[in-house]
Structure 1
Amino acid sequence: MNILITGGTGFIGRWIVKRLLQDKNQVWVLDNLANSSITNINEFRENPNFKEFIQGDIKDEELLSNIFKLNKFDICYHLAASINVQDSIDDPKTTFENDTIGTFNVLEQCRKYHVKVVFMSTCMVYDLASNQAGISEIDSLKPASPYAGAKIAAENMVLSYYYAYDLPVVVVRPFNTYGPFQKTGGEGGVVAIFINNKLDGKPQRIYGDGAQTRDLLYVEDCANFVVTAGYSDKANGHIINAGTGRDISINKLALLISNDSSAIQHVPHIHPQSEIQKLLCNYSKAQDLLNWEPKVSLEEGVKKTEEWIKSIKTTHKEDEGL
């Protein structure tokens, strides 16, 4: 198939590119590189099925129009977005314009050319898990940040095109995804940040009391889920979760990674109002509709991620001649 990935140089996007190329699809990537690097997809550039990288923004309607006009896409995996919760609280306008208006622009082109849309949403749209079965797709939403609000608005626009125009769409809500190629700084995920701190001999700084929990999904499991949702006609018109069905407190995660309780420091939360205390995924719908389930355990995923971060640090030192 001919497939467009917006946000394709990002952390999850580059793994989706990899899987799509493995499946012999023709792949185009659109990204403005605001929160990612072209180096994330360098290994794919010589693949004959990697058709083009386009540096551009989903807010640029003329650019989108030209891309869709020139290429007959079958699916658009739409990942381009502002993804930082704290940034959305400090600057809600940018997040709204990127995540909601940008999504509308993509939808309009997909409607014009009848291209299936796989919309990357987030578990941050949910209220906390209230039982041990975890959060399902019919559980309560709580837009506790402008990021979550913008994603919910975009989700509703995506689904409206399914009902109003019979456009094939699917909304995917992966839980907290981690793994190789995730940033290790402030914009990265908690696993990458903790591993980087451990390797640098820095303390593990935890917001609040650290009792908040996360359901941590390894990035290759996430990418396989997202790609499969695009391939499946049964997914059309649905919202689908992906996670592991296991949550871990941030305190226990820090201990798992650093193996040193003295390294843990608790600091005041910057935006406590946006914190979700318990995130636990019920992914039974993904099992039923897509025959999908996670394959990588947290312990194995942390090990793989640490090996990757170590390799990056080694390469960086070699480049600097250290």
Structure 2
Amino acid sequence: MKILVTGGAGFIGRWVIKRLLEDQHDVWVIDNLSNSSTNNIEEFIYYDHFKGFTEGDIKDKKTLRELFKQGKFDICYHLAASINVQDSIDDPKTTFENDTVGTFHVLELCKKYKTKLVFMSTCMVYDQASDPKGITELHPLKPASPYAGAKIAAENMVLSYYYAYTLPVVVVRPFNTYGPFQKTGGEGGVVSIFIHHHLDGKVLNIYGDGTQTRDLLYVEDCANFVVTAGYSQQANGEIINAGTGRDIAINDLALLIAKDPAQIQHVKHIHPQSEIPKLLCNYEKAKKLLNWEPKVSLEEGIKRTSQWIKGSGES
């Protein structure tokens, strides 16, 4: 197939591209490099099926139009977005324009070229888990940050094109994803930041009391989920979660990485109002619809991520 990946030079995008190339699809990439790097995808540049990288913004309609006209894509994996919760609180306009308005521009072209759209949403749209079996797709939503609000708005636009125009679309909501190629600084994920600090001999800072839990999904499992959702006709018109079905308190995660309570300290939370106290995924729908299950345990994922950070010069 001919496939476009928006935000493809980003952390998850890089792994999505890898899987698509392994599956022998022709892949085009667009990314504005605001929170990503061409270093993430440089190893793919010389693959026969890698058809081109465009440094461009999804809000630039002209660039997007030219790309769709050239590619006439079968699927668009739409991963380009502002993803930082604190940034969305400080500057909601940018997040709304990137995540909601940008998605609208992509949708319009998908409609024109009858391109299936896989929309990357987030577990941050949910209220906290109250069911011990975890959060299903029918769970209540709570836009606790402008980031979550922009994603919910975009999800609804995406689904409206399924109902109004019978455009094949899927909304995917992966839980907290971590692994190699994730940033180890301020806009990275908690696992990468903790490992980076531990390898540098620094203290691990935990926001708040550390009892908040996360369901941590290894990036290759996440990418396989996202790609499979694009391949599946059964997934059209659906919202689908992906996680491990196991959550861990941030205190326990820090201890798992640092091995020493003296290396851990608690600091004042920078955005307590947008914190979700308990995130636990129920991925039964993904298992049933896509025959997908996570394969990499948290312990194994931490090991692989540590090895990558050590070897990449990120630490």
TM-score tier by shorter-chain length is over 0.9
Deviations 1:261-291 (A, max 9, x none): 1111001100100000000000000000000
Distance (whole Å) between structure 1 residues aligned to residue 11 and residue 172 of structure 2: 16
Q: SS state of the match for residue 202, structure 2?
A: coil
1:69-218 correspondence to structure 2 within 5 Å? 69-218=69-218
Query: Which aligned runs of 4 or more in structure 1 are off by greater than 2 angstroms?
Result: none
1:1-322 correspondence to structure 2 within 5 Å? 1-313=1-313
Distance (whole Å) between structure 1 residues aligned to residue 23 and residue 198 of structure 2: 37
Deviations 1:102-131 (A, max 9, x none): 000000000001000000000000000002
Distance (whole Å) between structure 2 residues aligned to residue 234 and residue 22 of structure 1: 23
Is there any run of 5+ residues in structure 1 with no aligned partner, and where?
Answer: 318-322
Distance (whole Å) between structure 1 residues aligned to residue 114 and residue 312 of structure 2: 41
Q: SS state of the match for residue 235, structure 1?
A: coil
Q: SS state of the match for residue 281, structure 2?
A: coil
Distance (whole Å) between structure 2 residues aligned to residue 295 and residue 150 of structure 1: 31
Q: SS state of the match for residue 138, structure 2?
A: coil
**Offset at 1:168?**
0.1
Amino acid at match of 1:111: K
Tell me the percent identity: 75
Q: SS state of the match for residue 35, structure 1?
A: coil
Amino acid at match of 1:23: D
Amino acid at match of 1:269: H
Decide which moves more: 304-313 or 63-72: 63-72
**Offset at 1:72?**
1.5
Give the count of matched residue pairs: 315
Corresponding residue for residue 320 of structure 1: none
**Offset at 1:248?**
0.1
**Offset at 1:312?**
1.2
Q: SS state of the match for residue 139, structure 2?
A: coil
Distance (whole Å) between structure 1 residues aligned to residue 103 and residue 257 of structure 2: 36
Is there any run of 5+ residues in structure 2 with no aligned partner, and where?
Answer: none
**Offset at 1:132?**
1.1
Distance (whole Å) between structure 1 residues aligned to residue 131 and residue 79 of structure 2: 30
Amino acid at match of 1:259: K
Amino acid at match of 1:79: L
Instruction: State TM-score, norm by structure 2.
Output: 0.99
- Calculate the aligned-residue CA RMSD, in Å: 0.7
